[in-house]
Amino acid sequence: DARVTQTPRHKVTEMGQEVTMRCQPILGHNTVFWYRQTMMQGLELLAYFRNRAPLDDSGMPKDRFSAEMPDATLATLKIQPSEPRDSAVYFCASGLVPDGGLGTDTQYFGPGTRLTVL
């Protein structure tokens, strides 16, 4: 049963601390997306990658957020320094876009990381 996995599931930290969230996309998928869900904004796209290359991170506050894919099986989202307004659930999703084509738009989501910054 192929699934997107995310760690940690919950994180409580203090303002100013660094937070790293990890995502393992479904094996064989070549696109990875990071979303943030808040009560006020719903699901917001923060960044996405294709074949490990960042395609768009315009939804991300650049001064404190960074997203990387060190390899095809791991995506990371870092916040440094964290602030209380970063408290949200962060979802990772993956999908498959065939080379040379647009492919499916279906994205498969992980269970999320619930972040609380005090």
Stretch that binds other proteins, among 11-19, 67-75, 76-84, 105-113 (CB under 8 A): 105-113
Decide whether 50 or 78 has the Cβ nearer to other proteins: 50
Count residues near other proteins (CB under 8 A): 23
Decide whether 74 or 81 has the Cβ nearer to other proteins: 74
Decide whether 5 or 17 has the Cβ nearer to other proteins: 5
Torsion sign over Cα 54, 58, 62, 67: negative
CA–CA dist 55, 29 (Å, integer): 15
The token pair that represents 22 in the structure block:
């990890």
CA–CA dist 106, 115 (Å, integer): 26
The amino acid sitting at 106 is: T
Site of interaction with other proteins (CB under 8 A): 4, 31, 33, 42-43, 45, 48, 50, 55-56, 91, 93, 95, 97, 102, 105-112
